[in-house]
Structure 1
């Protein structure tokens, strides 16, 4: 094996993969029961399981050769970059070698599309199949599916990978046509629909036949590029909401566009999407998934962009002060979840604890509530002196000044809602 060439390939294809942020291993639960290699468990860096454990993944492209010429992609056909491609055996050997050195616990494998969709997808599937069957590898595997690949290859991919995903790339069809005229959303959504139906089918079969193999047990996800075109945040979260409701996706990821190519259709080189906007989109996403918010509640036509100064839940509360204060002793769980500073875990603690005692601000603080925010929106049996600020026109500024908010990583954006 030419180790210098392998190292060069790794540098090129790992760098090209860095723009894909949808590599979380949330939902992976594959167990090693037969003295095989690897386990989907705790790790040392970079991505997180559903219960918060850190898992490290080898994140690479199979190749950065591509038949498409998408304006926003560094691997686009017309871009003058150094090209490389791994063989199936090289990816397998790298994964096993990195695992044995305790560098990684799984593989995130994507690819440029070379030759055609089936040609590329077949090689991605072969990597996963060799790892599972020949090396008895039980670590996490995330495969990017290729739009246009056959149903047979998609089905086989789901049997060997923990998660499948296909990036929708640009949120709107018009934006995609502007920057990637060779692609369309319908072609991208077809594999999503197939995976959704297969997940339902295998789940039903499992109820009857216990030995039914798992199919993509960690579900499927997608990613949207933010800021390459002029979509507003309302359009973006409505697209995400559509995918959650109609394709049962585990996650939608948001990637702020980083200008790396000069093109009149793209933002100017040197300009960059504020990282806080990306963070706000993750927070809005969390509200839809776990707090019972609808996309049209978080934003509307008169407010199409998320406020960069306050989180989306706070923004909603400031626009709907007529719904406050919320009495923590009597309010429904649904309404308590809408109070800024109260997270899902804390809300359930409040509902449980109030059966046995009359709650105070100190009780809520002990439950983990961010009382520096919540105190302006809640009421107690004996009143709350902070409610005098609720009707003030400068309440937002008071909150901005008094709340010590720090930027969180997109993968932990939920923490800043609590």
Structure 2
């Protein structure tokens, strides 16, 4: 990837944690702004070039599979009927991209870091604003905003007598936070309404200074909303425009179910209805997942597996999950289960749901045997006592 630097501004942020004070101290200092030639001859090139390539190649989903992913796509917010030029964050980014001198780039980068310093959880470190082109695709520049936190307890090798010397302000590329604008979803395809943000941790403070950027909901949240909407549509179809106590009870049950973090099987729909509803979700995203627990066992798979290789049923009052496949694989810790010669399914079905009855029967047999044994032991003790009395001794030795 042919990356050509145009301008780069390097700032250092100091906060109260670095100063060791109890007040709300935070400040920044501009160290240097350089053009492309100066960057080529600087130590920053070796430090950052690979990071810029990683940032560009890093993939991000508009609808991530989990909440607060480290890399996400942000979209500039505009009022209905207005264009991108009405968004303050976009306007600043565009002015930086259009900078034609070091002085202009430094001035706009200074404006950007001042906005960042107004966020609630600023931490010390290096703040870098860079403008670079990727000549592999086009000449249009990318804006990169990077933040490297200070690394605690860093030392470097000194001489034979001193051994090590303390480094006052060390930064590392290990956990760089970054913003890239514009977002390039595919090679050569720019999304001018979007930027890409990356944070190694799930903290939000690096994105909080972009007040006019929004992020799409994660897939589980989107899917949950659509499922609830499907249930409401089902109720509307079932009752038409009829208002009744039964309909109100069903709607209330839906609200309680949707608001619960841990939900149980509702038994409202047939397998065919569930498969049809799944299909409408899978059309939007093929790799949607499902996860549920049966007792202490967790089952995970694709939503498309339901009705095909994963089946739910009831037998003898118990829930049953049947998972079919061509083979079973085990990982890590061995167990005797790996040695099993599986019986046929029809041999297992009769014992499903009978474990409680078997346990109760075993307990009953245990109690009966215990009572029988106690009676026999009492008889032996009586015989022994009588025999000892007949011998006229006070021998307290055990019977054995």
Q: TM-score range by the shorter chain?
A: under 0.3
- Highest relative contact order (Cα 8 Å, sep 6+), 1 or 2? 2
Relative to its length, the structure with more helix (as a share) is: 1
What TM-score results when the alignment is normalised by the length of structure 2? 0.26
Relative to its length, the structure with more strand (as a share) is: 2
Larger Rg: 2
What TM-score results when the alignment is normalised by the length of structure 1? 0.26
